[in-house]
Structure 1
């Protein structure tokens, strides 16, 4: 494919790319001011909270991959908070629930994104905290042009907010009217929250100690105090159609901290690929690469039916394993080594046939049969959604204004420091705004099951198995690439397709992003109401009529997306000689890459 919508950005000083042009420009501004990639990424993240509030917020969650310049190995920063101490299956079942609602207070886990950003910039950044937060404060206080999808989301929820979530009504409909697309929109409460935080910590002269003080203010100071006070009495409508109280407390937040972890990796065609751990869906990409390593892609059309079929069938198998065997390894012994082994991939490869599978086929692993059987039973069940607002997360492919989604950013500086981050949660449609803070809580707990004995069973202190999944890769010539996308269950599907196209001949980051995408909803979705769609395959029409017809002949249940609506990939790379490149999707017309 030779078509491209915009040039690949090339330079040597720095590159920043994200799902919103303002955040990308903020990242470049930080680099220009002498900050490094860690400073820039954090500033971009806080800005994305402001300009894409329907996709992420300060009380959300985030996994992050970072790599210091030189020979240092990549590291995962875990910003995924855990279930509160009172989040027990028994309590939720007593509320009449068989699944955790996709919105409301029972869907909330400990907010983790803020501490993850602070941990990284404390240890690896260089700028004062004020310079990192100032762009977000500016756009929250002075305003930013509201995106059409933000305006539409708020308008559609205006009656619900006024009736059920009045603090959200006051925040998102100031003066009682929904903002118009492109109009200037402000969140003065959020600006005041960050301004007060800075005022409380700037008496500390040492930069590192100041950032540590900010962590304390957030998790043990006025911010958590306002969250705790609100949750003591709040009882709000959720996606299951009932008003319920939450279980998160200030004590839960006070005892939690973001942490560093080693990533997992695999080798594919001379490339090395890194992903976060089994508490994310990231290892599905590694499993998929292991599985596909046994096929010859050298003669395949990377937009052709055979390519789409092979990749789709591989993803069905690997996501079936996700549903059966992934979870928080700090709480459950997982068969990780087996799942990521080449021997296991070899044993599964023969399951990929010439026609589309409609079966849910997690692996047969001795000692883990119960998990596989439970996953198959869940995927075969049809779940009804509740009568109220909040149908879980997101995928832009559904093009539903009421659903949340996610954002993504990649940044590389002139020294070679790299960050890839996927912040999410705390959407304006996930939970009411906490009074006085200008920010809603997250709803990541909806990814737990209320059945005991599973790796994804709800339990206090356990991380939900998130869909959030940034990526790093290194090509055989030493080029490092940071990439990712929003999109819930689709994140590692779109990233796999993108990476395969880079590996098998497409060297231009932008052209590989612009190529038509696809994904399957065959397996259990991670978000309320949690249904599977056996045999489903969503495709962009740019794949071509011949490809679509051939896929139908193979039995795939095609859903033809509107043109340019599947995927929101961004990517940045650094070659061994220091040349920097970046690209961003044209889909939705808001993501941009910048650099020089």
Structure 2
């Protein structure tokens, strides 16, 4: 009977198969994020008549306070749909490399990449500024209202097992930093030094810092200042006032580089997102200082194939999508970087449909191509490629008919697989919010995750995003570390419009797997008619044939693994055998979708459908 039941389930249409989590439905609002308590913070704001931007800011503050693989000293990047203008706008609240963060500095310390942890891994904090910027320009509430849930939690909340156990696992590293030790090791000297699950975890220093920001706002309002001026008073206290002074003091005391001038000069940026149209759907991503355009490039390539006819997760489908992702990631690894620094990336050429056709023509139908390298997008924007010599030095032959060897950078297999997989999948959180007025927010904030180095008595963990820079222009001339420059990050929220209206909003944690999982999530919905909840749970696959963005300080720690693929445990034997014959090295897991959070907009019934995968603690609340 069990066999018959399983076969019956497998023969059901993909859209009809039962999910492990129920769909969330709402007609007024939807709030989804990485922790149930974080979603509750968003719901509290919605119940106080805040809009989706207010709620998203409250969820951001709450998840930072919960150390949900991020903290206040990290970075925020967001896409917002504005129903008043009917446009998608992007918020760039990524911090920058501080004064003194040069190639020469890091190489003098023996690094091949900036370090993973500690004060030298820190960019300037972006999340406080990004939150306040979004609140000023698109929210309706005060900072005091939006931070209330987070401040209540900082005063003491029941810590969940995931964060408590992460602290315990990393306690030896946390002991290196005095302010981290003070905050996290609540039972110092005992067998278990971290808080226990359910213990009331108190963060007095963080509460004091948040209180200072709210007090700055309140004092400005008492003086008759406008809402915007009051919010800017809080902003200035963080980036120019006594909070900044303590942040810098605590950073430098522990060997960090951030200065008062670094904080004062930094500002969040509102920018135009990048967009491609895939079969009638406008897909929006952040600019090339993130890896977001990888998904856009992959969609342009895949538009040249009939994916639906191949069948969901058939051998041909897996192979085609895997190859398309490899082509896009090869370009990411060489051409993406801070769009506000020199040199300028060839993003117009990279997103050209004609360039995508040229790349699609490289896909070999019978085997994995281990020799995939960056293409040459420059002719597709009317320019000559100034980096041909660098590409040749790197080991890539631009004429693919002559490329009969694998670049030496791309064949090493020196790092243990478990460490490599950890670096590949390193997560953050995601935030999705929407309301009946039409505001939609998709955020992938990060930085300051455990084990975090806390900056003095601010209670705020510093970012670790410096590690995403390179020190060698042969690897990527656009992403070489320099003071005032943003690293090319993995963080990548998504918004999708159809016929000019919101269609989907989605984001996922998981380092270099983010745009792999978001690509397949979108294809699950658009090509295979899955519901948003089914699409978040559906079996995906991941390629390891890319340069890692996080982890390790040696080149061998980051090198691609050609042909390595992560598949779901349920992958049929026939598909496994066929992939092996095509040159793939297979690994398996029971959940391969990543912790995707998403909202689908049902315009037929004017309702919101929320999806949150069965991977992790992510979930939401709808009304």
TM-score under structure 2 length normalisation = 0.87
Which runs of structure 2 are paired with 1:146-545 in the superposition (5 Å)? 146-148=160-162, 150-162=163-175, 164-176=176-188, 177-205=193-221, 206-234=226-254, 245-331=255-341, 332-354=343-365, 355-365=367-377, 366-373=385-392, 379-380=409-410, 382=412, 397=425, 405-429=427-451, 431-452=452-473, 454-476=477-499, 478-529=501-552, 530-545=558-573
Instruction: Please state how far the C-alpha of 1:71 moved relative to its aligned partner.
Output: 4.5
Label 1:222 to 1:459 Cα distance change in 2 as closer, same or farther (>3 A): same
Kept in 2: contact 1:115–1:258 (CA 8 A):
yes
Kept in 1: contact 2:249–2:456 (CA 8 A):
no
Q: Distance in 2 between matches of 1:286 and 1:379?
A: 26
Instruction: Please state how far the C-alpha of 1:523 moved relative to its aligned partner.
Output: 0.8
Q: Which runs of 5+ in 1 are unaligned?
A: 235-244, 398-403
Label 1:232 to 1:299 Cα distance change in 2 as closer, same or farther (>3 A): closer
Kept in 2: contact 1:54–1:405 (CA 8 A):
no
Label 1:335 to 1:247 Cα distance change in 2 as closer, same or farther (>3 A): same
Label 1:307 to 1:34 Cα distance change in 2 as closer, same or farther (>3 A): same
SS at match of 2:578: helix
Q: Once the two structures are superposed, what CA deviation does each residue of 1:536-572 show, in whole Å capped at 9, x if it has no partner?
A: 11112133333333322322111112x1254010001
Instruction: Please state how far the C-alpha of 1:184 moved relative to its aligned partner.
Output: 3.2
Kept in 2: contact 1:416–1:574 (CA 8 A):
no
Q: Once the two structures are superposed, what CA deviation does each residue of 1:278-328 show, in whole Å capped at 9, x if it has no partner?
A: 110000000000000010023222132222111111000100000111111
Q: Which runs of 5+ in 2 are unaligned?
A: 1-13, 378-384, 396-406, 553-557
Q: Once the two structures are superposed, what CA deviation does each residue of 1:417-456 show, in whole Å capped at 9, x if it has no partner?
A: 0100001011121x42122111211111111111248111
Which runs of structure 2 are paired with 1:103-122 in the superposition (5 Å)? 103-122=117-136
SS at match of 1:298: helix
Number of residue equivalences: 570
Per the alignment, residue 16 of structure 1 pairs with: 31
Instruction: Please state how far the C-alpha of 1:396 moved relative to its aligned partner.
Output: 7.9
SS at match of 1:58: coil
Q: Once the two structures are superposed, what CA deviation does each residue of 1:511-553 show, in whole Å capped at 9, x if it has no partner?
A: 1111112111111101132232111111121333333333223
Q: Distance in 2 between matches of 1:211 and 1:306?
A: 54
Q: Once the two structures are superposed, what CA deviation does each residue of 1:31-74 show, in whole Å capped at 9, x if it has no partner?
A: 111000110000000101122x1510111012100111144210
SS at match of 2:562: coil
Q: Distance in 1 between matches of 2:408 and 2:245?
A: 39
Label 1:479 to 1:122 Cα distance change in 2 as closer, same or farther (>3 A): closer
> 1:46 aligned to 56, 61, 82, which one?
61
Instruction: Please state how far the C-alpha of 1:413 moved relative to its aligned partner.
Output: 0.8
Q: Once the two structures are superposed, what CA deviation does each residue of 1:125-157 show, in whole Å capped at 9, x if it has no partner?
A: 111111110101111212133233x22221122
Label 1:336 to 1:195 Cα distance change in 2 as closer, same or farther (>3 A): same
TM-score under structure 1 length normalisation = 0.91
Kept in 2: contact 1:56–1:405 (CA 8 A):
no
Which runs of structure 2 are paired with 1:547-586 in the superposition (5 Å)? 547-561=575-589, 563-564=590-591, 566-576=593-603, 578-586=606-614
Q: Once the two structures are superposed, what CA deviation does each residue of 1:448-481 show, in whole Å capped at 9, x if it has no partner?
A: 1112481111112211001000000123584421
Instruction: Please state how far the C-alpha of 1:576 moved relative to its aligned partner.
Output: 3.6
Kept in 1: contact 2:323–2:368 (CA 8 A):
yes
Label 1:88 to 1:264 Cα distance change in 2 as closer, same or farther (>3 A): same
Q: Distance in 2 between matches of 1:477 and 1:253?
A: 38
Q: Distance in 2 between matches of 1:353 and 1:43?
A: 48
Kept in 2: contact 1:226–1:436 (CA 8 A):
yes
Greater displacement, 297-306 / 263-272: 297-306
SS at match of 1:542: coil
- RMSD, matched Cα: 2.2
Kept in 1: contact 2:432–2:441 (CA 8 A):
yes
Q: Distance in 2 between matches of 1:439 and 1:591?
A: 23
Instruction: Please state how far the C-alpha of 1:384 moved relative to its aligned partner.
Output: 7.3
Kept in 2: contact 1:379–1:523 (CA 8 A):
no
